[in-house]
Amino acid sequence: MRSSIISITNSNWAIDRQQLEWIAALESGKVLHFKNLPFEINENETSLFRESIQNPKSRNISLGSDGLLKGAIGDATTLITLKELIFRFRNLSQVLVHSLVPKYAEYLKVSPTSFRPLNISHRKQSWRADDRRLHVDAFATRPNYGERILRVFMNINSNNQPRVWRVGESFESIAEQFIPKIKPYSKSQAKFLNVVGLTKSFRSEYDHMMLQIHDAMKSDLNYQKNSPQIQFEFMPGDVWVCFSDQTSHAAMSGQYMMEQTYNLPLKALYDSQSSPLAVLTSKVQRKLV
């Protein structure tokens, strides 16, 4: 299981030459771990590192592609400083991904960039929202029809506190175990959810299956405890990249993290047959989108 995390020593956010083995590892569900990349915290930014900067009603602080900051509390100067911090990470994450996999560059869709100031081990959430449980990402309100979810994370904790993750088994193994537990898909229910505004678009059978797998994994306490998995500490300065719709993961502890999400169409991949859509389609032998 240790091989599910590929540690890479690179002193710069820009990768100087393409490494096909890293791309293959990423597209097969592994986590690429870049050790101690430079990210300077300016003196005027140190005051941002407090839990009270986040609105308690918000899941995290995020900066949209439109430049709109959500989930933060503070005066105008504080919010401008926070936006600059988040935007700097967004730019660096884009440098990393573009240089790591140049083929992705023309296809990437930038989703909101988040700053996570809360200590996750203290958060009280429902089992479905609890990211301390192993899961693959799927979003109830945002069907994506098999489009990939690529995420870049960075631990920016200044107190030498690690970001502790668990990483689980392959998506194919997950699919084999949980497909039999999936409730039947209903087109009429999907249409209703869209009409009343509970989904942003019509939920495909693929999106239905991914949500069912996400929930089944989180609700199964025996699976959480006994399934194949490793625990790994990402230290301050570490950056890690994975397809979170494919990589089974759980964030156990840590405070102060940056995160960038990208959406990527299947045609951008080197190996689309390793994608969750391809795996699920192969297992059930029917078209899912």
Distance between CA atoms of residues 214 and 30, nearest Å = 18
157-191 as b/e: b if 16+ CB within 10 A? beeebbbbbbbbbbbbebbebbbeebeebeeeebe
User: pLDDT tens digits, residue range 11-62?
Assistant: 899 998 889 999 999 999 999 999 989 999 999 999 999 999 999 999 899 9
Residue 59: C-alpha distances to residues 54, 117, 131, 164 (Å): 9, 11, 11, 19
Q: Token pair of 79, please?
A: 């919010």
What is the reported pLDDT for 11?
87
Q: Residue 166: which H helix or E strand, with range?
A: strand 163-168
User: pLDDT tens digits, residue range 170-201?
Assistant: 999 999 999 999 999 999 999 999 999 999 99
What is the reported pLDDT for 36?
86
Phi, psi of 234 (to 5 degrees): -95, 115
280 closest CA partner among 179, 187, 204: 179
The ranges assigned to domains in the chain are 2-280
What is the reported pLDDT for 2?
55
What is the reported pLDDT for 1?
56
What is the reported pLDDT for 155?
98
Distance between CA atoms of residues 52 and 61, nearest Å = 11
Which CATH architecture group holds 2-280? Sandwich (2.60)
Residue 233: C-alpha distances to residues 9, 155, 157, 224 (Å): 16, 10, 13, 18
The total of other beta-carbon atoms located within 10 Å of residue 235's CB is 14
31 closest CA partner among 125, 179, 170: 170
Ranges of residues in the chain with a pLDDT under 70 are 1-2
